[in-house]
Structure formats: structure tokens, C-alpha cells
Structure 1
């Protein structure tokens, strides 16, 4: 039990740290950590269903914790979270994800993996598009965007996220940065809140299915509550260009792995 406690808390800290740092739900990182690390320490391996359940809980609490930390540590007392953007994109993503998850039952695994791989490549290219420095200095109250475009993009991404079983933040963030032209720090803080809203439905579904291992999940959640605020705090002190390149590298690794699986 002690080894399991340490391992699961460690996994929770690592996954949620990058969640808070880069504004993603963390499922891209959590899933392989949960799948491969426990057996390295002589623990029983989790099934894919168990990994998905633990990861969903981690995403829920990590995004909530990182979102709160970002909101409390804003410039001049103003939150980095754009409330209207979160409500519009969060609701659209949730609806799209539900439709996508139902549609995925009609698709083959190869088709789903190819959709994921194509989107990951597009996300990397979008992340490499430079933004104007003047845009990065805007506060939440100064940010303007096209509401219908934001909701439409979130709905589409939510549908795709439902198909491939990912949180979708790794696509939403490049769209918010490049198409909606939202400043990087506001994008990262707001994307955590959007992921949180999307994760609510996922957690309800996992609890109802009964696939959640109780103690490992609780240990991972404890780690998530530690790591996400640390990542969020560091995020606010890092150069925004480093944040963009860091996220691009993370997505690139994901894209390479997916295409190796497809072509292998």
C-alpha cells in the first residue's frame, strides 16, 4: 500500500504539474504514466478502463486546482480566466463531446487514431505561428473575439475529442491563440476552466460505470492537487514564448507516437 501511495501521488503530481503549466487537462500525460509506471515498481497493472477512469478524475481535480490558482494570482487582482469565453466554449465542447463519443461507436480504431494524428500535426503547426507582442499585454477586459466562431470551434473540437477519447485542450489552445487571438496567459487559464466543465460529464459517467479503483484514484487526486497549482504558478512567471514552444513540443511527441502506431 505504501509503494502504491508514493507511486500514485508521484504520477498525480507530474501529470497535473503539466496540466497547470500548459493549460491542458493532462490526459495526454496521465494515460501513459498510469499505464506503464505502476508495473515498474512491482504493482499490478491497471486495465485500460481503469486508467481512463483514474485519468478522468485527475483531469477533473487538476484542472479545477490549476484554474483556481490562476484566478487568484492574476495581475492587479484581475483574473486571467475569461468567464464569458469559458461558458461559451465549455458548454459547446461538452455538447460536441457527447455527440462525438456516440459517433465513435460507428468508427474503426484505425480511423479514430488517424483523426487524432492529423489533428495533432495541425495543432503543432498552429502553435508555431507567431503572435504579436502587443496582443500578449492585453487584460481580460480588453480581449475581444468572435463568439460564434469560438462556440463553433469548441463544438467541433469537442466532437473530435469525444471520438478520440482525449480532453481536447491540445487542439483548443492553438485555436484560441491563433484563430481567436486570445493572449497566451488568458488562453492557458481559461482552457483549464473549459477542460473542467468538460470533465464534469466524464467523471459522472466513470462513477456510474463503476470502473474507478478507489484508493489509487484518491492517491492520484492528492498528487493532482499538489502539482497543478505549482504548474500554474510557474506558468505565470515564464516567458509566454517558452510556454507556446513547450506545448508545441508536447503535442509533437504525441503526434509522433500516434503516427508510429498508425504506420507500424
Structure 2
């Protein structure tokens, strides 16, 4: 039983963080349903919504840390954008992460499902081309960036996500940030977000340290490989993969909520 749990958790950590590094997400868009459905499927564990969200949040921190480390020498991380959105998302995720202790599991699933649908719809809107000029000129609305990241932080803190699966569509479709800058910068923003969210989960007493440690090992390995792929992959492949992941997850979560 223990060996099976270790193997399942490692694979979940590796796969989710590979996608995290490649697509600029925290990995929770796939990690949340994987943690919810795969352990029971293989008969190794059953987790509540609060436990799943706590495990996902710990994994998000280490997955984005590995991704940011890989991107550290590139010019793709925009420091101003990271500060504008990072500070407010940390505050929001801390509030959401701690406040989730009073929210029923079904409500957490519902919030996650709503976030996934919104992100899926926004991903259908094309973003600007990757010229990078929009970012060089700081051509995005700072008020929208700060307020939207705070709201995303609160919601993502509740469900144990870094929030990148909805933050990325906002950055591309509303703020007009080029895709590759979005991917690299969102990793840094979500890293900050996960600090607040993870602190909230720890204070609430939902973190399971044994399972978290296994996820972290898989995350650190997977995120590094994923970030390297993300730096060379074509824009269409990256955006298409992210859109498919969001759509599939949204359909699965809503199917479970309704039926």
C-alpha cells in the first residue's frame, strides 16, 4: 500500500510539474483532479477536497520554483508585471487558503469548476503576437492587473491552485501580454501566490507532509524538464495544449458536480 502510494504520488507530481514548467501554470489544473481521482482509482488513498487543495498548493510552490529557476537566465520574466500582480495575488491567496477551512468540499469543487470554465472561454480569444513590444512599453492596465490578480489569488487559495490556469488567459486576452512572456512571468507570479496559499493551508492544518514530500520530489524533476521544452516549443502548440487541458478538466469537474 505504501509503495503504491509513493509511486502514484510521484507520477502525479512529475506529470503535473512537467506541464507546469512547459505551460507556465502551477500544475493544479491537472493536479487537482489527479489527486482527487487517481489515488482512489488505484486503491492507495482517498482524500477530502480540503486535503486535495492543500496537497496541490504545496506542489504548486515547488513546481513553480523549479520552473522559475530554469527561466532565471532568460529575458522573458517581466519584473514589473510580476510585482504588480504578485503582491496582490499573495494577499488574496493567503486569505483564500486560510478561509477554505470554513468552506464545504462541494463548494470548493464548484469554485474550481467555475474557474476552469472561465479560463477555457478566455483561452478561445487570441492574444497578441509574440513581438514583446507590448511589454517593453508597459502597455497593460496596471489597475486591472492588480485587481484581477487579487481576485484570482482568493479563489485559487480556496481550491489549492496557483491560479495560473486562469491568470494566463487574463494576461493574454485582457492585458495583451505576449505568450512567452506570459508563461515565464506567470511562473514567478504563481510562485509568490503559492507562498500565501501554502501558508494559509498550513495554518488551517490541512497539509499532509508525507504525501507532500513525495509530490515535491516529482515536482522538482518534472518542472525542470517542462521549462526547457517550453522555451523552444511553438506558440500554437503551447496555447493549444493549455486550452485542451483546461477544457478537459472543466468538463470532468462539471460532470462530477452535476451527475
Shorter-chain-normalised TM-score: which range? 0.7 to 0.9
State the partner residue of 2:57: 56
Secondary structure of 1:166 counterpart: coil
Give matches, 1:142-157, under 5 Å.
Answer: 143-157=138-152
CA RMSD, Structure 1 to Structure 2 (Å): 2.7
State the partner residue of 1:30: 31
8 Å contact kept, 2:26–2:162: yes
Deviation digits for residues 15-49 of structure 1, max 9, x if unmatched?
11111111111122222323333345553434444
Deviation digits for residues 63-120 of structure 1, max 9, x if unmatched?
1111111223x2xxxx211111111101111223345567778877666655544443
8 Å contact kept, 1:128–1:245: no
8 Å contact kept, 2:89–2:150: yes
8 Å contact kept, 2:12–2:218: yes
Structure 1 stretch displaced more, 109-118 or 253-262? 109-118
Greater Rg by CA: 1
Deviation digits for residues 167-218 of structure 1, max 9, x if unmatched?
3211110110011111111101111111111111222233334443333321
How far the C-alpha of 1:127 sits from its partner, in A, is 1.4
Secondary structure of 2:210 counterpart: helix
Match of 1:138 among 120, 132, 135: 132
State the partner residue of 2:92: 96
In structure 2, relative to structure 1, the CA distance for the partners of 1:49 and 1:179 (3 Å cut) is closer
In structure 2, relative to structure 1, the CA distance for the partners of 1:113 and 1:41 (3 Å cut) is closer
8 Å contact kept, 1:12–1:221: yes
User: 1:226, 1:83 → 2: CA distance?
Assistant: 25
Structure 1 stretch displaced more, 183-192 or 158-167? 158-167
Give matches, 1:111-130, under 5 Å.
Answer: 116-130=112-126
Secondary structure of 1:5 counterpart: helix
User: 2:115, 2:52 → 1: CA distance?
Assistant: 23
1:83 aligns with 2:84: no
8 Å contact kept, 2:32–2:53: yes
Unpaired runs of at least 5, structure 2:
none
Aligned length, in residue pairs = 257
8 Å contact kept, 2:53–2:161: no
Deviation digits for residues 110-143 of structure 1, max 9, x if unmatched?
666555444433322321222343xx03276455
8 Å contact kept, 1:17–1:224: yes
User: 1:94, 1:189 → 2: CA distance?
Assistant: 18
State the partner residue of 2:22: 21
User: 2:204, 2:103 → 1: CA distance?
Assistant: 22
TM-score (norm 1): 0.84
How far the C-alpha of 1:55 sits from its partner, in A, is 1.8
In structure 2, relative to structure 1, the CA distance for the partners of 1:103 and 1:221 (3 Å cut) is closer
In structure 2, relative to structure 1, the CA distance for the partners of 1:107 and 1:227 (3 Å cut) is closer
8 Å contact kept, 1:157–1:171: yes
Unpaired runs of at least 5, structure 1:
none
